[in-house]
Amino acid sequence: MKHHIETKINGVSYHLEVEPHWTLLELLRRVMGLTGAKDSCGMGECGSCTVIMDGRTIYSCLTLAVRADGKEVLTIEGLAKGEELDPVQKAFIEHGAFQCGFCTPGMILSSKALLDENPSPNEEEIKRGISGNLCRCTGYNMIVEAIRGVLEGRVKRG
């Protein structure tokens, strides 16, 4: 039997009928056509499926779709305002913080949630903040630099 949920995804309210066994990742990718969150391990180990729900990062592959009822979900598709990128997205481009780009949506959302929660993280806190997201291409250092770049940009702008 399908469940009725009301959820806000990237700022838009939806009334959706979801199967009880659907994960949020399935809902996003199959029903909503939001393929930015990736399906890489399906077991909450790699972080490619990371989205932000009510301000906190979650593995959408381990979260049932019904859990989004009454919640606000932010996916990578909702981060930029049109052509205007979020500072984290800009920093990832400027610092070469991705290569193949498959883990990037999750990595960016984890970085954003980290900075929202802790406006001035130190090196260790940055690394911890993204340690739930695996990346095989970059070796992480350039991602850490991109996040530091966001912090420096904030300082510059005052």
Partner 1 sequence: MSDHGDEFSAVGKSFPRLEGFEKVTGATRFLTDLELPGILCGKVLRAPYPHARIVSINTKRAEKLIGVKAVITAEDTPKVPFCIIPRVANKLPLEDKKVRYIGDEIAAVAAETEEIALEALDLIEVVYEELPAIFEPEEALKPDAPLLYEETGTNIAEHFYKEYGDVKRAFQEADHILEDRFETSPVTPCCMEPRSCIASFDGSGRLTLIANTQAPFSLRQELSKVIPLPIKKIRIIKLPIGGAFGSRLGMDSIDPICVFLSRKSGKPVKIVNTREEEFVTSRYRYRMVIYLKTGVKKDGTIVAREAKVITDNGAHNYQGYTITAGLCQKLTFVYKIPHIKFDGYVVYTNNVYGGAFRGYGNPQITFAAESHIDMIAEKLGMDFLDLSLKNIVEPGHKTISNCQITSCGLRECMIRAADVTGWREKRRRPGRRGIGMASMQHAGGGIMIFFGNINCNYSSAAMKMNEDGSVNLMTGSSDIGQGSDTVLAQIAAEELGIRFEDIRVTTADTDLTPMCLGTYGDRVTFIGGNAVVNAARDVKKQLLELASELLEANVDDLESKEGRIFVKGSPEKGISIPELAEFSYFKKGRPILGRGIYDDPISKPDYGTGYGTSPAYSFASQVAEVEVDVETGKVKVLRITSAHDLGRALNPMAVRGQIEGAMAQGIGSALFERLDWVDGRALNSNFLDYRMLTALDVSAIDPIFIESIDPNGPFGAKGVGEPALVPTAAAIANAIYDAVGVRIKSLPITPDKILAALEEKNSISKRWSNEK
Contacts with partner 1 by CB under 8 A lie at: 29, 34-43, 45-46, 48, 75-77, 79-80, 85, 89-90, 92-96, 98-105, 108, 126-128, 130-144
- Closer to partner 1 at the Cβ: 36 or 53? 36
Shortest distance, CB of residue 154 to partner 1, whole angstroms? 18
- Closer to partner 1 at the Cβ: 6 or 123? 123
Shortest distance, CB of residue 51 to partner 1, whole angstroms? 10
Quick count: other Cβ atoms within 10 Å of Cβ 37? 24
- Closer to partner 1 at the Cβ: 54 or 137? 137
Q: Checking phi first, is residue 48 left (phi over 0); if not, alpha (psi -120 to 50) or beta? A: alpha
Residue 103 to residue 47: CA distance in whole angstroms: 7
Cβ-proximal residues to 75 (8 Å cutoff; 6+ apart), any chain: 9, 10, 28, 34, 36, 37, 51, 52, 105, 109
Shortest distance, CB of residue 53 to partner 1, whole angstroms? 16
Shortest distance, CB of residue 88 to partner 1, whole angstroms? 8
Residue 78 to residue 72: CA distance in whole angstroms: 11
